[in-house]
Amino acid sequence: MNSIFNIFANHNVVEVFKILYYTSFVWLPVLLFILAFELWVDWRRAMFFAKQTYILLEIKLPKEIFKSPRAMEFMIAGLNQPFGDGNWFLDWWKGSTRPWFSLEIVSIGGEVHFFIWTRKSYRNAIEANLYSQYPGIEIYEVPDYTLPMSFDPATVGMMTCEFGLTKADVFPIKTYVDYGMDKDPKEEYKIDPLTPLIEFFGTLKKGHQAWFQIVVRAHKATDKDPVTGKLVDLAWAKAAKVEIDKIYEGTKGKKDDATGKEDKGRLLTDGEMETVKALERSISKPGFDVGMRAIYMAPKDIFDRSNIGGVIGGITHFNSNNLNAFKPTIAGSKKYPWIDRKDKVANFEKGVMFDAYKRRQFFYKPYKRGVFVLNSEELATVYHFPGGVSATPTFERIGSRKAEAPQNLPI
């Protein structure tokens, strides 16, 4: 308490407060206007969200799927909807936002399910795209599996985890093309990086649940060029071209100051060539703002900490030393992410992540989190329907190919 009085007794501090007081007629109205404007935008956006109807679609798969993830990439590209915001009328008056979608893989007691969460207005388009690529699937609107669940630290053990990238967004992860899956190989030769996660989800016992969520929306340029003032994509598309130029610049000949001669330079190394090709291919496809999280939960008496590694490890198969990789951040464990802390702060952070998962939120307050950019090819690698290479016995599949695309679906 004395230290506080000492601060206010300081002559310089008193002078600062005098200046603030006598200039308050200038800065106070500005501050109040900014606060009021922020509250207005939040209120208009909340009203917009309240008017939307959201549904959860479950996709049931046939016993055999011979399509590569390229088929899923076609569906995901259709989710690139950049409209809905971007000017004062939509952002400030209507509170409108770009639509976002949630791609989810879930294990409930070892039963693996594929879900897509969406605004109801996009249901027909999603179903049409899925049926066009996977005519043997069945799609149902189902109750939200998250709603009956709640987090009580006294009775429930929980791990909540969000993922980021180890390098800048511009560097892509290892995709299904790198695994040779774009060529539709036979099942016995297929290497599917998603299979370990599916197989692990299928091993969970009754009472255990694991949820994996990818929240996506169309990526748009939001940076301003310091010279022209125009919108540019410094985080992704333009940044990729900068990185490519850096690689080529490193191969050019350099002048020797002593002799005045210039060497001829060199060719790209195999690693540099791979990086250039990956960068060029990456920015040639639609980009998405992406938030990824995972949750593992079970009653405290059967909560198994070893399952935490299985959930996180299932995501690391998409990582590449030369390109990019996913890194986990676990709520309540900033310094040591493998430790499951149990204090009040950790439980609060877990509760926030848990609530954000249920609301499928990543982009707006109060659940705005760190997001990164992936293109449609990368997303199709992380979320696609596995073929027969995934033989998980608890992975529910349709007994026969009885569901063809409805004839009246709009295209």
Question: How far is residue 338's CA from residue 405's CA, in Å, rounded to a whole number?
Answer: 45
**pLDDT at position 102 over 50:** yes
Q: Please give the mean pLDDT across all residues of the chain.
A: 84
Q: Examine the domain organization and report whether 75 and 140 are in the same domain.
A: yes
Q: Examine the domain organization and report whether 25 and 140 are in the same domain.
A: no
Asked, for residue 324, whether it belongs to a domain, the answer is: yes
pLDDT at 318: 81
Q: Is 217 helix (H, G, I), strand (E, B) or coil?
A: strand
pLDDT at 338: 42
The angle subtended at Cα 78 by Cα 73 and Cα 82, nearest 5°, is: 125
Enclosing domain of residue 3: 1-51
Q: Which H or E element spans position 124?
A: helix 123-133
For the segment 24-42, what is each residue's pLDDT rounded down to a tens digit? 888 888 989 999 988 888 8
Instruction: Tell me 262's DSSP state.
Output: B
| pTM for the full predicted model | 0.84
Separation in Å, CA 40 to CA 31, 36, 37? 14, 6, 5
Q: Examine the domain organization and report whether 103 and 79 are in the same domain.
A: yes
pLDDT bracket for residue 407 (50, 70, 90): low
Instruction: Tell me 181's DSSP state.
Output: G
The angle subtended at Cα 293 by Cα 157 and Cα 142, nearest 5°, is: 85
For the segment 182-240, what is each residue's pLDDT rounded down to a tens digit? 876 666 667 788 988 999 999 999 999 999 999 999 998 877 777 776 777 777 888 88
Q: Examine the domain organization and report whether 124 and 24 are in the same domain.
A: no
Question: How many other CB atoms are found less than 10 A from the CB of residue 172?
Answer: 28
Q: Examine the domain organization and report whether 89 and 21 are in the same domain.
A: no
Asked, for residue 180, whether it belongs to a domain, the answer is: yes
For the record, the structure tokens of 144 come out as 């939200």
For the segment 389-398, what is each residue's pLDDT rounded down to a tens digit? 455 555 566 6
Question: How far is residue 208's CA from residue 230's CA, in Å, rounded to a whole number?
Answer: 50
Q: Examine the domain organization and report whether 46 and 98 are in the same domain.
A: no
Asked, for residue 237, whether it belongs to a domain, the answer is: no
Residue type, 179: Y
Last residue of some domain: 35, 51, 67?
51
54-62 and 397-398 strand pairing: parallel
For the segment 281-326, what is each residue's pLDDT rounded down to a tens digit? 888 899 999 999 999 999 999 999 999 989 988 888 788 777 899 9
Domain count, the chain: 2
Residue, of 93 and 339, whose pLDDT is higher: 93
Question: How far is residue 16's CA from residue 358's CA, in Å, rounded to a whole number?
Answer: 47
| Residue appearing with tokens 């969520």 | 213
Q: Examine the domain organization and report whether 39 and 173 are in the same domain.
A: no
Q: Examine the domain organization and report whether 281 and 333 are in the same domain.
A: yes
Last residue of some domain: 51, 73, 88?
51
